[in-house]
Structure 1
Amino acid sequence: MRIVLLEDNLTQSTLVCAWLRNAGHDVHSFMLTRELQRFCNRESVDLYLLDWMMPDISGEEFLRWLRSERRDHTPAIFITSRDTEDDIVTGLAAGADDFIIKPVSQRVLMSRIEAVLRRSKPREAEASMDLPPYLVDHAQKRILLHGEVLDLTEKEFDLAAFMFRNLGRLLSRGHLLEAVWGRNPDLATRTVDTHISRVRSKLHLGPENGFRLLPTYNFGYRLERVEASEASEAETPHAA
């Protein structure tokens, strides 16, 4: 998972980042909220871990901005020393999915993260995803279209499966690159564009099959369902 940590205490940030990376997550840490806001304008993530009391903009203000201005509903957990009942209510009202009081232990943090991600992405643990006319078979790493196995490379399968798991979400190129290829500085985001083109072609993604893969300028891609009316129009021949 790609996780963002907003924490201005260097010792705490270093410790939590180590826990997350040891668990196999990709972590991006920020000590100023404005820097995180700039990051959010060009990148997507799977989870936000937010301190409340920050030197510039509070974590609570950031989360309200994320939900209202960015319309981003990515799961978010507060990790904070704010521990009154009013604080918890305010944090949850701002859009938080969970609230952890400092000091936090590694076991509690990892358990809360797993629980939030399990609720937000229930398909992650499934052996297969049935999204007619597609079947994404994670066990055998293959995708079927109308019952026929498609000819995909391993990376093409991983990319397509990740897009299906995040159906409807706008995903940045950097997010896709980390999710499929890992944090490899030698790879350019153009690698994502090339593979997206191949996946779109090999999966025949379009209104006729009920899905489309759309680019967003200077950001990334979104796989979304096509409304039945659009699919019908695509299948109906136009008069000359």
Structure 2
Amino acid sequence: MRFAILEDDPAQLEVLMGWLKEAGHDVHGFGLARELMRVASRESFDLFLVDWGLPDLSGEQVLRWLRVERSNDTPAIFITARDAEEDIANAFSAGADDYVVKPPRRIELISRIEAVLRRSQPRTTNQTLVVGPYSFDLAKKSLVVDGSPVEMTDKEFELAAFLFRNLGRLLSRGHLLEAVWGRNPDLATRTVDTHISRVRSKLNLRPENGFRLTPTYNFGYRLERIDPSEAPSVGEVALSSS
């Protein structure tokens, strides 16, 4: 998972990042609210961990910006010293999914994070992810579509599975790159575009088949499930392109 932590105390930020990296997550730390907001405008995350008191803007203002201005429903947890009932109520009103009072405890925090993510992610059973005609065996890295196996490389499979796990979400190229290839400075985001094209072709992700995999300029991609009846007919496509 890819997390963003907003915490202006360098020591506290280092501790939190250490805990979550040990738990196997990719973690990005920010000391200023506007710094996180700048990055969140062009990158996607699986979870935001937000402090309340910050030098520039409050954590509440950041969360309201995410929810209202960016229409971003990524799960968010407040980690703050504020423990008044009114503050907690305001945090949930701003769109928080959970609230942790400082000092956080490692096991409790990780458990709360896992609980929030379980509510936001599709469930898988016995290492199998099934969405419509697409059946992913996550352990064997094999995919069957309408009963027929699809030949894919490991990276193509991982990318396809990640897209289907995040059906409907707009995912940045950086997020996709980290999730599938890890943090590798030698890889360009063009790698994502190339593999997206292959996945779209091999899985036939077309509106007429009930799925749409579309790019968003200067950001990334979104895989959506749609009603095939809403897809334009061949005649309409030809007419619109003439």
| TM tier, smaller | over 0.9
Contact 2:4 2:28 in 1 (8 A): yes
> Are residue 29 (structure 1) and residue 29 (structure 2) matched?
yes
Give the 3 Å change call, closer, same or farther, for CA 239–184 of structure 1 in structure 2: closer
Counterparts of residues 56-95 of structure 1 (less than 5 Å): 56-95=56-95
Matched to 2:108, the amino acid is V
Contact 1:5 1:29 in 2 (8 A): yes
Contact 2:33 2:57 in 1 (8 A): yes
Give the 3 Å change call, closer, same or farther, for CA 238–28 of structure 1 in structure 2: closer
Give the 3 Å change call, closer, same or farther, for CA 125–73 of structure 1 in structure 2: farther
Deviation of 1:103 after TM superposition, in Å, equals 0.6
Per-residue CA deviation, residues 50-81 of structure 1 (Å, 9 max, x unaligned), is 00000001000000010000000000000000
Counterparts of residues 202-217 of structure 1 (less than 5 Å): 202-217=202-217
SS of aligned partner of 1:35 = helix
Give the 3 Å change call, closer, same or farther, for CA 172–191 of structure 1 in structure 2: same
Deviation of 1:122 after TM superposition, in Å, equals 3.5
Counterparts of residues 152-191 of structure 1 (less than 5 Å): 152-191=152-191
Structure 1 range deviating more: 57-66 or 126-135: 126-135
Matched to 1:28, the amino acid is H
Aligned to 1:128: 128
TM-score by length of 2: 0.94
Per-residue CA deviation, residues 81-102 of structure 1 (Å, 9 max, x unaligned), is 0100001000001000000000
Deviation of 1:134 after TM superposition, in Å, equals 1.5
Matched to 2:157, the amino acid is F
Aligned to 2:144: 144
TM-score by length of 1: 0.95
Aligned to 2:53: 53
Give the 3 Å change call, closer, same or farther, for CA 47–238 of structure 1 in structure 2: closer
Q: Which stretches in structure 2 are left out of the alignment for 5+ residues?
A: none
Aligned to 1:108: 108
Distance of 2:238 and 2:28 partners within structure 1: 54
Distance of 1:237 and 1:4 partners within structure 2: 43
Matched to 2:121, the amino acid is K
Aligned to 2:223: 223
Give the 3 Å change call, closer, same or farther, for CA 239–67 of structure 1 in structure 2: closer
Give the 3 Å change call, closer, same or farther, for CA 225–55 of structure 1 in structure 2: same
Distance of 1:77 and 1:110 partners within structure 2: 11
Over the aligned positions, Cα root-mean-square deviation in angstroms equals: 1.8
Deviation of 1:139 after TM superposition, in Å, equals 2.7
Give the 3 Å change call, closer, same or farther, for CA 143–87 of structure 1 in structure 2: same
Deviation of 1:212 after TM superposition, in Å, equals 1.2
Deviation of 1:144 after TM superposition, in Å, equals 1.4
Q: Percent identity?
A: 62
Distance of 1:78 and 1:238 partners within structure 2: 47
Would you say how many aligned residue pairs link Structure 1 and Structure 2? 239
Deviation of 1:119 after TM superposition, in Å, equals 1.1
Deviation of 1:234 after TM superposition, in Å, equals 3.8
Distance of 2:63 and 2:238 partners within structure 1: 51
Deviation of 1:127 after TM superposition, in Å, equals 2.0
Contact 1:48 1:74 in 2 (8 A): yes
SS of aligned partner of 2:213 = strand
SS of aligned partner of 1:199 = helix
